[in-house]
């Protein structure tokens, strides 16, 4: 079945880089996403990558995809206290309803 | 752009009453809307997928008579929790998929439901 796993917690110092990891099991996934959720709020789309790409960079965010190992990562450069939140990865297939399967979420805490 | 609103943002109700939650796409047309449920410190679980003008498709284990979904227009979907019980207390989040962009979902801010 489909399963998306993430580590539960990550703590970094302000100014350092953060790397949040995600593994998935469905090799037919077409799109892989990163969402940010702040306390009591909905999800904010940060970025997404097609499965035929290895890397995507958007300002402080870098997404790396290792399709062979089914591993996705999100690197946040120069992490700020405002980056403290829960980060979810998700995957979907380019068929049917394109429904998302979400990961378990990683709680990022940025220490001043 | 791509704003999705939910109303109400939070609601407290007595056991046995019904609660309606609205999800609106404010600046785009949404051919499909999704309803999720999130328990504290957990991930989002998809409850159902609704397409404008047709019946919703429910995920396995979700009672369609308990969670009524209506998607009457390209900008509005509603979720009604019927005869709510304390175990229905949760954070309900909707998302909307823009026309022509099937790979993208924009999420609402969520509705926190507390059933006493």
- pLDDT score, position A11: 97
Reported confidence tier of residue B100, pLDDT bands at 50, 70, 90: confident
Taking all residues of chain B, what is their mean pLDDT, rounded to a whole number? 92
Query: What residues contact B76, with CB distance under 8 A and at least 6 apart?
Result: B22, B23, B24
Reported confidence tier of residue A2, pLDDT bands at 50, 70, 90: low
CB contacts of A103 in chain B (<8 Å) are: 43
Longest dimension (CA), chain A: 45
Q: Which of B116, B62, B51 is nearest to B92 (CA)?
A: B62
Q: Which residue has the higher pLDDT, B30 or A93?
A: B30
CB contacts of B4 in chain A (<8 Å) are: 42
Contact A98 B93 (CB under 8 A): no
Of B44, B97, B103, which has the smallest distance from its Cβ to A94's Cβ? Answer: B103
- pLDDT score, position B54: 84
pLDDT (mean) for A31-59:
92
Reported confidence tier of residue A1, pLDDT bands at 50, 70, 90: low
CB contacts of B57 in chain A (<8 Å) are: 97
Contact B102 A94 (CB under 8 A): yes
Contact A105 B49 (CB under 8 A): no
| Per-residue pLDDT tens digits for A97-112 | 788 999 989 999 999 8
Contact B4 A42 (CB under 8 A): yes
CA contacts within 13 A on the Cβ side of A72: 33
Contact B42 A105 (CB under 8 A): yes
- pLDDT score, position B41: 81
Of A41, A97, A103, which has the smallest distance from its Cβ to B110's Cβ? Answer: A41
| Per-residue pLDDT tens digits for B35-48 | 999 988 888 999 99
Q: Which of A70, A51, A62 is nearest to A5 (CA)?
A: A70
Cβ(A70)–Cβ(A55) under 8 Å?
A: no
Q: How many CB pairs under 8 A join A and B?
A: 50
| Per-residue pLDDT tens digits for B38-94 | 988 888 999 999 988 888 999 999 999 999 999 889 999 999 999 999 999 999 999
Reported confidence tier of residue B1, pLDDT bands at 50, 70, 90: low
- pLDDT score, position A3: 84
Reported confidence tier of residue B99, pLDDT bands at 50, 70, 90: confident
């Amino acid at each position: 079945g489909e399963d998306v796993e993430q580590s539960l917690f990550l703590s970094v110092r302000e100014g350092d880089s953060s790397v949040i990891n995600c593994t998935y099991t469905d090799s037919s996934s077409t799109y892989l996403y990163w969402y940010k959720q702040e306390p009591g709020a909905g999800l904010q789309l940060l970025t997404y990558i097609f499965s035929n790409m290895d890397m995507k960079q958007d300002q402080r965010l870098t997404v790396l995809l290792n399709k062979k190992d089914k591993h996705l990562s999100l690197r946040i450069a120069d992490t700020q206290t405002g980056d403290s939140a829960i980060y979810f990865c998700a995957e979907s297939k380019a068929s049917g309803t394109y429904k998302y399967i979400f990961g378990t979420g990683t709680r990022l805490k940025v220490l001043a | 752009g791509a704003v999705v609103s939910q109303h109400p943002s939070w609601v407290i109700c007595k056991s046995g009453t019904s609660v309606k939650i609205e999800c609106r796409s404010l600046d785009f047309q949404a051919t499909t809307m999704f309803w999720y449920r999130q328990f504290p410190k957990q991930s989002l679980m998809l409850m159902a997928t609704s397409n404008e003008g047709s019946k919703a498709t429910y995920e396995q284990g979700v009672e369609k008579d308990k969670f009524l979904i209506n998607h009457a227009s390209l900008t509005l979907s509603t979720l009604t929790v019927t005869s709510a019980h304390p175990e229905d207390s949760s954070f309900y989040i909707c998302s909307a998929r823009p026309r022509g962009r099937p790979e993208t979902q924009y999420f609402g801010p969520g509705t926190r439901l507390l059933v006493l």
